[in-house]
Amino acid sequence: MKSIKGVLIKMRDDLIRDITRRLKETSKNINEDIGDDIDSCFQERAREFDLLLSKREKEKLRLIEEALDKFEEGTYGTCEECGGKIPKGRLKAMPFALYCVDCKEMIEKEEKSRTEEPEETLRKISLIDYEEED
Ligand SMILES: [Zn+2]
């Protein structure tokens, strides 16, 4: 189990390093505009950091942190939903998995029906519009 914790820490560090690098690249351009107003520049950076994190990265970072917390609590590898053991193979493939396969599928289905359907409908509507215009 210790090696999985190591993998998690590396994943988190890689993610943060990647974001920090992107932040530096972006603030290089910002610096030219702002000049030496350090305070507002710093605030700008903090906001940038948040913006640069995609929803996916935020979610991943959150999952990694949660998994690391679970290591501290000694509950790592236990499904958050049903309390059952998460198979080792699954943890190796996805060290930040918080749920067993069954619960994860159930949760994803619920999320899909809640969030993705309206988007799908919108896409269909816009497709129909395009066809009519042609
Ligand atoms: Zn479960």
The alpha carbon of 94 and the centre of ligand 1 are apart by a number of angstroms equal to 15
The alpha carbon of 104 and the centre of ligand 1 are apart by a number of angstroms equal to 7
Bridge partners, 85 (sequence order): 78
| Same domain for 134 and 120 | yes
The alpha carbon of 85 and the centre of ligand 1 are apart by a number of angstroms equal to 8
| Same domain for 76 and 122 | no
User: Is pLDDT of 45 > 50?
Assistant: yes
For residue 118, what pLDDT band results from cuts at 50, 70 and 90? low
pTM of the model: 0.61
The alpha carbon of 84 and the centre of ligand 1 are apart by a number of angstroms equal to 5
Contact 96, 59 (CB under 8 A): no
The alpha carbon of 112 and the centre of ligand 1 are apart by a number of angstroms equal to 18
| Same domain for 60 and 19 | yes
The alpha carbon of 60 and the centre of ligand 1 are apart by a number of angstroms equal to 19
| Same domain for 127 and 79 | no
The alpha carbon of 110 and the centre of ligand 1 are apart by a number of angstroms equal to 15
CA distance 24 to 20: 6
Predicted pLDDT of residue 1:
47
**Pick the residue with more confidence: 110 or 24?**
110
| Same domain for 69 and 26 | yes
| Same domain for 86 and 107 | no
Contact 78, 85 (CB under 8 A): yes
| Same domain for 56 and 27 | yes
| Same domain for 71 and 7 | yes
CATH of the domain at 57: 1.20.120.910
Predicted pLDDT of residue 112:
83
| Same domain for 51 and 33 | yes
| Same domain for 104 and 93 | no
Residues measured by CB to lie within 5 Å of ligand 1, the ion: 79, 81-82, 84, 100, 103
| Same domain for 72 and 24 | yes
For residue 20, what pLDDT band results from cuts at 50, 70 and 90? confident
Number of folded domains in the chain?
2
| Same domain for 64 and 32 | yes
Contact 92, 113 (CB under 8 A): no
CA distance 11 to 33: 34
What residue numbers bound the domain in which 9 lies? 2-99
